[in-house]
Amino acid sequence: MADVLLQDLWFHQVEGVVVESVIPDGELVVVRARTAAGQAACPACGTASARVHSRYVRRLADSSVGGRPALIELRVRRFRCSQQGCSQATFAEQVAGLTFRHGRRSAGLQTVLERVAVMLAGRAGSRLAHTLAAKVSRSTLLRLIRRLQAPETSTPRVLGVDDFALRKGHNYGTILLDIETHQPVDLLPDRTTATVARWLAEHPGVEVICRDRSTAYAEAGRLGAPDAVHVADRWHIWSNLAEAVEKTVVQHRALLREPQDTTIAAAAEALEGLDLDLAPAGPRTTGRLSDRVREQHEAVRALLGQGIAMREIGRRLGLARNTVRRYAHVASADELLVGRWTGRTSILDPYKPPRPSNGTRRRHRGVREGGRLCPGCGGLPGRCEPVPLPSGGRCARSAR
């Protein structure tokens, strides 16, 4: 019962193979089997032969079992060809659906890898194959793609013709598509009139040619398929329309009025009356960057005062020579802490939240630090300013 189950599990689509044993070997599952056909056909002349020349074991990688790679050790026979005059004296038997000439994988695993290669190509296909416990390299998958036979295609009734770049600005080819099935038909090595016309002449039956406005393709269609109707595809129609509109606008741009920007005006009205601190931003006075720049500037200026060269200063302080030169050419570190964009206006300024006034910042600071503000002037406890009060007097605390 177990032998029948194993036979149906591994070789349910294969005839003439008998499973002898299945042995788990660490991370590998080994399936030992043998061929049981009485004869085999010669691949050269097709003559069936039952004369056994020798036997040997073929090792075929198969699809994984439970996440572990499977290996089929298949004992096959080599036959003698009984046809006199045949160029092949001996030949090895092949099992349809399981083996193929010079193959080290089963036919099932070979089909799976071919489909993975076609869908994902090299690197991505190799990663997926490793997940499936079938370790192959990207080069192997690319070789499988090259060995595949091109599918048979018939001459399309509606043919799409367009160019593509092999190397943009240098080499271009031509791609031919079946517009009705949206499948590629052929690739031509260039986009010359002679090449496209030759293909059309060798493949009669094209009724409609869908192309761009290229004169080379128009001439090729006239020479290779004189009875075909030429049409422009939707993408090229929109592209040509956009180019025509752009050229027209550029030619008559002097007649166009500037649009009225209502956004900035509305934002300016909304900001009127706000207490904004519009003073230009000054250099940074606190922070790790500011402290580091000031310390390095003082160190460079001190060493320059001792007559030490810039190269030696950079070696001592671990600074680049350009950095040392920049520190040496400014008298104050504040000049280095003012960026090129400091104080510059931006198109986003109308949408930024307004900066709080000095009084608002002082109140916020009091809430964070002290939790109490002076009831008279609103200052921090112990830091009252002699500001006039609405009643006409001055803060009582500042008077002290």
- Span 147-153, mean pLDDT? 79
Q: Helices 310-317 and 288-305, interaxial angle, to 10°? A: 140
Sign of the CA dihedral 386, 391, 393, 396?
Answer: negative
Supply φ then ψ for residue 155, to 5 degrees. Answer: -70, 125
Q: CA 193 to CA 191: how far, in whole Å? A: 7
Supply φ then ψ for residue 369, to 5 degrees. Answer: -90, -55
Pairwise pLDDT comparison (388 vs 208), residue with the higher score:
208
Q: Which helix (H) or strand (E) holds 58?
A: strand 52-65
Tens of pLDDT, residue by residue over 236-253, are 888 889 988 988 888 887
Q: Which helix (H) or strand (E) holds 185?
A: strand 183-188
Nearest CA among 83, 81, 75 for reference residue 52: 81
Q: Taking the domain 158-237, which CATH number applies?
A: 3.30.420.10
Q: Return the structure tokens found at 10.
A: 């591994």
Q: CA 54 to CA 76: how far, in whole Å? A: 9
Q: CA 301 to CA 313: how far, in whole Å? A: 10
CB 125 within 8 A of CB 198: no
Q: CA 322 to CA 314: how far, in whole Å? A: 9
* In the predicted structure, residue 282 carries a pLDDT above the cut 60: no
pTM above 0.85, yes or no: no
| pLDDT the model gives residue 172 | 92
* Three-class DSSP labels, 195-246: HHHHHHHHCCCCCEEEECCCHHHHHHHHHHCCCCEEEECHHHHHHHHHHHHH
Q: What is the mean pLDDT of the chain?
A: 78
Contacts for 321 with CB less than 8 Å, ≥ 6 apart: 310, 311, 314
- Number of C-beta neighbours around residue 125 at 10 A: 24
Residue 368 vs residues 124, 353, 372, 384, 385: alpha-carbon distances, Å: 56, 21, 9, 17, 19
Tens of pLDDT, residue by residue over 301-313, are 898 888 888 889 9
Pairwise pLDDT comparison (88 vs 302), residue with the higher score:
302
Tens of pLDDT, residue by residue over 327-359, are 888 888 877 776 544 555 667 777 777 665 555
The percent of residues above 90 in pLDDT, for the chain, comes to 8
